[in-house]
Structure 1
Amino acid sequence: MSLTTRFTEAIGIEHPIVQGGMMWVGRAELAGAVSEAGGLGIITALTQPTPADLVKEVERARRLTDKPIGVNLTILPSINPPPYDEYRRAIVDAGVTIVETAGSSPEPHMEMFREHGIKVIHKCTSVRHALKAEKLGVTAVSIDGFECAGHPGEDDVPGLVLIPAAADALSIPFIASGGFGDGRGLAAALALGADGVNMGSRFMCTVESPISQTVKERIVEASELDTNLIFRSLRNTARVAKNAVSDEVVEILAAGGQFPDVQPLVAGARGRKVFEDGDLDAGIWTVGLVQGLIRDIPNAGEVVRRIVADAEAVLRAKLALFGEPAVAPVG
């Protein structure tokens, strides 16, 4: 069974389920498993230390599946920015046909991607940014609600409002991100007008996810209350796991501190140690509110298959409320 939407048809996959690009998490094993199950697995470009390593990582993923695999390219302001042009060239050289862009506008990259037939999914946090991406010619948009891990933007609009608002405004396919982790979520996203879902935290907590088992078990144990919003006063809000470090960051900034006062606490190298060593208080690490719905650590392919089956069951059950006759299976 496949679940066909405008997004699956545009991207060329079986099911409208995307594994979001996550720093230190989006590697070949996870991306390959998601794609092999019919979703879209995504390798995170900047997790790889060099553009050449990215090409090798894509090759590793292709040994796991012959189905489409995407690459995430997150563009953010930095004192020492990565060589984005070189990573973009590596994406082309690796023969990648789907790219998820995030952070800043994808405009500087669109010409090359368009020339090489690469489909772009741009991730954003507001309808106005989604409309700008549509004008730039992206194939689809991934729109992040306030529930998401990482940067939810500064509008604080949750998915229940953001998704139908996007559906009313956009002409291109779009997927919903932030707060999705099971079949109920996929069914709800489709009912609200989205063409699929993007999931990060749910795929972090799978067998193929390359992070410490301790972190995965913490996600299972945690509730939807166990996150912190940091950098609020700096208007660069990020949702991260609640731990000793993020509690301290919130406290310092609430007392009037500025970024230099917390910079040593939020260094990316410290967050990477959490994922690699399993020390939950080594640094800040991102996870979404949906962790309150995550209760196991299955294979990534099982997650895809389970969500599709459960979404179908939910939608059929709701149709029955109207006395509708049974319908043929989707796909």
Structure 2
Amino acid sequence: MLVTPLTKLLGIRVPVVQGGMQWVGLPPLVAAVSNGGGLGILTALTQPNPEALRQAIRETHKLTSKPFGVNITLLPTINPPDYEGYARAAIEEGVRIFETAGNSPGKLIRYFKQNGCIVIHKCTTIRHAKSAIRLGVDVVSVDGFECAGHPGEEDIGGLVLLARAAQELNIPYIASGGVADGRGLAAVLALGAAGANMGTRFMCTVEAPIHQNIKEKIVASNEQDTVHIFRTLHNTARVFKNKVSTEVVAIERKPGGAKFEDVRELVSGARGKQVYETGDPDYGIWSAGVSVGLIKDIPTCEELLARMEKEAEDVIDGLVKVRVEKAKL
């Protein structure tokens, strides 16, 4: 078994957390990850309101007796969702593990800690990680350049970012971005992480609530099949490279640049949701990390986690053999 500060803190067998993914973090996937030994995460903002999240939590409780959490991502928007309502509903339904992300999470983190919760906060820089630690989080999830979604604007790859975390941070941290198998899990453990956060890899599982066409598209893809959009808007997002994302990048590169209004219709969340529902990979924007290049099959979550656990153990055992004692003279 792989025993780390993360497995001890969360009460899980495999040090792997399923990322909070919009339209994907639903009860069937969350329960499957938790039942497989990892930590499943419901995505609060996938639900239209706090009451719907309450029902999703109850459904997840019916599907698993294992620990699972709820992700609440604070979005840069003029009309913010009812974050406090989502948080209250989750706590009232017995959730005690939360993943937070986005800007200015202090108020939310304080509320969770006042209610005896474990908080994992996602961040893309050591500076932001230290800020989250000062707010009282228990674990930071460090997003490297390889990750799907928002990698920040500093373009620091996981290899350096995780090693910097080992130098600078005084609480457990987990690696997010680029991990899709046991070899990657062993690698981030070697870099000092207490586990890994995976999103793209869990999209390509039997239980993921997305169209089979999208799963097969991921399997057929390689590490060059993602692209960054919103770079010129300073809100970089890594997404799958398709007709829509290619058009967005072209608009951004026009002389004089682009405003969000120029691409608003192309990047709408409704279109992205339709991708997962209809299976047309070119209909809208959908998140995918560089790890698409490592994904070659569509296993159950239980199969995936068991395989990763064994692969990581085998890699670690193999590394022990690399070290050879000096022969006695």
Q: Same fold (TM over 0.5)?
A: yes
What is the CA-CA distance between 1:89 and the residue it aligns to? 0.8
Inter-partner Cα distance in structure 1 for 2:307 and 2:228: 31
Q: Residue 142 of structure 2 aligns with which residue? A: 143
What is the CA-CA distance between 1:9 and the residue it aligns to? 1.4
1:303 matched to 2:304? The reply is yes
Q: SS of the residue aligned with 1:257?
A: coil
What is the CA-CA distance between 1:321 and the residue it aligns to? 1.6
Q: SS of the residue aligned with 1:13?
A: coil
Inter-partner Cα distance in structure 2 for 1:105 and 1:98: 19
What is the CA-CA distance between 1:40 and the residue it aligns to? 0.3
| % identity of equivalent residues | 56
Inter-partner Cα distance in structure 1 for 2:59 and 2:97: 17
Q: Residue 327 of structure 1 aligns with which residue? A: none
The residue type paired with residue 298 of structure 1 is P
Deviations 1:201-239 (A, max 9, x none): 000000000001000000000110011110111111000
Q: SS of the residue aligned with 2:76?
A: coil
- Report if aligned partners of 1:27, 1:43 keep a CA contact under 8 Å in 2: yes
Q: Residue 318 of structure 2 aligns with which residue? A: 317
Inter-partner Cα distance in structure 2 for 1:103 and 1:213: 30
What is the CA-CA distance between 1:311 and the residue it aligns to? 0.3
- Report if aligned partners of 1:41, 1:69 keep a CA contact under 8 Å in 2: yes
Q: SS of the residue aligned with 2:45?
A: helix
1:219 matched to 2:209? The reply is no
What is the CA-CA distance between 1:12 and the residue it aligns to? 2.1
- Report if aligned partners of 1:179, 1:289 keep a CA contact under 8 Å in 2: yes
What is the CA-CA distance between 1:275 and the residue it aligns to? 0.6
- Report if aligned partners of 2:43, 2:71 keep a CA contact under 8 Å in 1: yes
What is the CA-CA distance between 1:80 and the residue it aligns to? 2.2
Q: Residue 230 of structure 2 aligns with which residue? A: 231
Q: Residue 197 of structure 1 aligns with which residue? A: 196
After superposing the two structures, state which structure 1 stretch, 195-204 or 51-60, moved more: 51-60
Q: Residue 91 of structure 2 aligns with which residue? A: 92
Inter-partner Cα distance in structure 1 for 2:197 and 2:169: 17
1:156 matched to 2:155? The reply is yes
Deviations 1:64-94 (A, max 9, x none): 1111000000001112211111111111111
Inter-partner Cα distance in structure 2 for 1:104 and 1:294: 31
Deviations 1:278-318 (A, max 9, x none): 11111100000000000000001111111111000011011
The residue type paired with residue 296 of structure 1 is D
Q: SS of the residue aligned with 1:285?
A: coil
- Report if aligned partners of 2:110, 2:135 keep a CA contact under 8 Å in 1: no
- Report if aligned partners of 2:110, 2:136 keep a CA contact under 8 Å in 1: no
| Poorly superposed stretches of 4+, deviation over 3 Å | none
Q: SS of the residue aligned with 2:162?
A: helix
Q: Residue 290 of structure 1 aligns with which residue? A: 291
Instruction: Report how many aligned residue pairs link the two structures.
Output: 323
What is the CA-CA distance between 1:322 and the residue it aligns to? 1.6
Q: Residue 264 of structure 1 aligns with which residue? A: 265
Q: SS of the residue aligned with 1:85?
A: helix
Q: SS of the residue aligned with 1:279?
A: coil
The residue type paired with residue 257 of structure 1 is A
What is the CA-CA distance between 1:110 and the residue it aligns to? 2.1
Inter-partner Cα distance in structure 2 for 1:114 and 1:228: 37
Inter-partner Cα distance in structure 2 for 1:209 and 1:93: 26
Q: Gapped runs of 5+ residues in structure 2?
A: none
Q: SS of the residue aligned with 1:198?
A: strand
Inter-partner Cα distance in structure 1 for 2:66 and 2:103: 28
Q: Residue 274 of structure 2 aligns with which residue? A: 273
- Report if aligned partners of 1:28, 1:58 keep a CA contact under 8 Å in 2: yes
- Report if aligned partners of 1:101, 1:123 keep a CA contact under 8 Å in 2: yes
Equivalent residue runs for 1:15-30 within 5 Å:
15-30=14-29
The residue type paired with residue 265 of structure 1 is L
Inter-partner Cα distance in structure 2 for 1:111 and 1:102: 14
Inter-partner Cα distance in structure 1 for 2:79 and 2:110: 24
Inter-partner Cα distance in structure 2 for 1:156 and 1:62: 38
Normalising to structure 2: TM-score of the pair?
Answer: 0.96
Inter-partner Cα distance in structure 2 for 1:305 and 1:174: 22
- Report if aligned partners of 1:105, 1:133 keep a CA contact under 8 Å in 2: no
The residue type paired with residue 160 of structure 1 is L
Deviations 1:173-195 (A, max 9, x none): 01000000000000000101111
Inter-partner Cα distance in structure 2 for 1:164 and 1:228: 25
- Report if aligned partners of 2:162, 2:175 keep a CA contact under 8 Å in 1: yes
Inter-partner Cα distance in structure 1 for 2:67 and 2:130: 26
- Report if aligned partners of 2:175, 2:188 keep a CA contact under 8 Å in 1: yes
Inter-partner Cα distance in structure 2 for 1:221 and 1:321: 34
Inter-partner Cα distance in structure 2 for 1:278 and 1:169: 43
